[in-house]
Structure 1
């Protein structure tokens, strides 16, 4: 739950588990690069801090947030990653374009996750202005890239834990 009173990267109840041996794909939207690049760097750093080897991180770009869903599908189909992290930023403008892009990327990445049974860490900012985006990409509200990477690690660990108990 978002709030202006806390850093959103510090709200986890459970610690992030060790991710050694897991492979991750990171997709970064090229649109709003001053925001998305910061999130991409934070996501990669979070993976490294939690034991992921640099060679186990596939870092790719897509033109904008709308393309994150198809990029995630490509990663799910054509790579052996354990999870995908999508990072983008959609800033409200004067038209309804914002609504359509936000809905499409949210539903699209969720569909990829369910169809391919692979965690997709969702780090797509949907803000009213540039300052709100910067505040969530390394500013006073933490970094959504860090959060999305942490969520992806936790979901991979959960999947493996449940799968091992069923063997």
Structure 2
């Protein structure tokens, strides 16, 4: 589906369980702070909206999207959380750096989740330009931070229901 036709943060078609029983980590990259700050605000507010208690949200900042991998691993090793939400933004530049970073972050976060057997949510924008990123960080296409928070709640609930 073409994202230009839809607000990607519309959850009217699905049921979101209460997050009251869960504890979440949010790791946000400071690189592209205008975008990642908006993603963080969306994720944080969505958790609160779905009954997650403020004291059950642990937020940390890392330098960039690549550092989300170590941040998620450290969070899961040192804190009792049910899921970790990773928020970042990588914007295409003139070199292949974009490709290497995006691939490493996606694979790294997947591996951290498998290592700890806990949901690690990929809330990293990989866009061609700043306008596309802003459109997905509270703009016309919704907020990927909202989506990441909803995904974290649903995955934490799934993990509990399968236990």
Q: Distance in 1 between matches of 2:86 and 2:33?
A: 14
Contact 1:89/1:124 (8 A) holds in 2: yes
Match of 1:110 in 2: 110
Match of 1:16 in 2: 16
Q: Distance in 1 between matches of 2:133 and 2:3?
A: 14
TM-fit CA distance, 1:16: 1.1
CA distance change for structure 1 residues 126 and 12 in 2, over 3 Å: closer, same or farther? farther
TM-fit CA distance, 1:123: 0.5
Q: Distance in 2 between matches of 1:75 and 1:120?
A: 10
Q: Structure 1: which 5+ residue stretches go unaligned?
A: none
Q: Deviation per CA, 1:31-52: give whole Å up to 9, x if none.
A: 0000000000110001111111
Q: Distance in 1 between matches of 2:24 and 2:134?
A: 25
Match of 1:51 in 2: 51
Query: TM-score normalised to the size of structure 1?
Result: 0.95
Q: Distance in 1 between matches of 2:49 and 2:11?
A: 18
CA distance change for structure 1 residues 160 and 2 in 2, over 3 Å: closer, same or farther? farther
Query: TM-score normalised to the size of structure 2?
Result: 0.97
TM-fit CA distance, 1:108: 0.4
Q: Structure 2: which 5+ residue stretches go unaligned?
A: none
Moved over 2 A (4+): 11-14
Q: Distance in 2 between matches of 1:20 and 1:28?
A: 22
Match of 1:136 in 2: 136
Q: Distance in 1 between matches of 2:18 and 2:54?
A: 15
CA distance change for structure 1 residues 110 and 25 in 2, over 3 Å: closer, same or farther? same
What number of residue pairs does the alignment pair up?
163
Q: Distance in 1 between matches of 2:2 and 2:83?
A: 24
Q: Deviation per CA, 1:24-78: give whole Å up to 9, x if none.
A: 0000000000000000011000111111111110010000000001100001100
TM-fit CA distance, 1:81: 0.6
SS at match of 2:4: coil
Q: Distance in 2 between matches of 1:109 and 1:138?
A: 24
Match of 1:65 in 2: 65
Correspondence list, 1:1-167, <5 A: 3-10=3-10, 13-163=13-163
Backbone CA RMSD of aligned residues:
1.1
Q: Distance in 2 between matches of 1:5 and 1:11?
A: 15
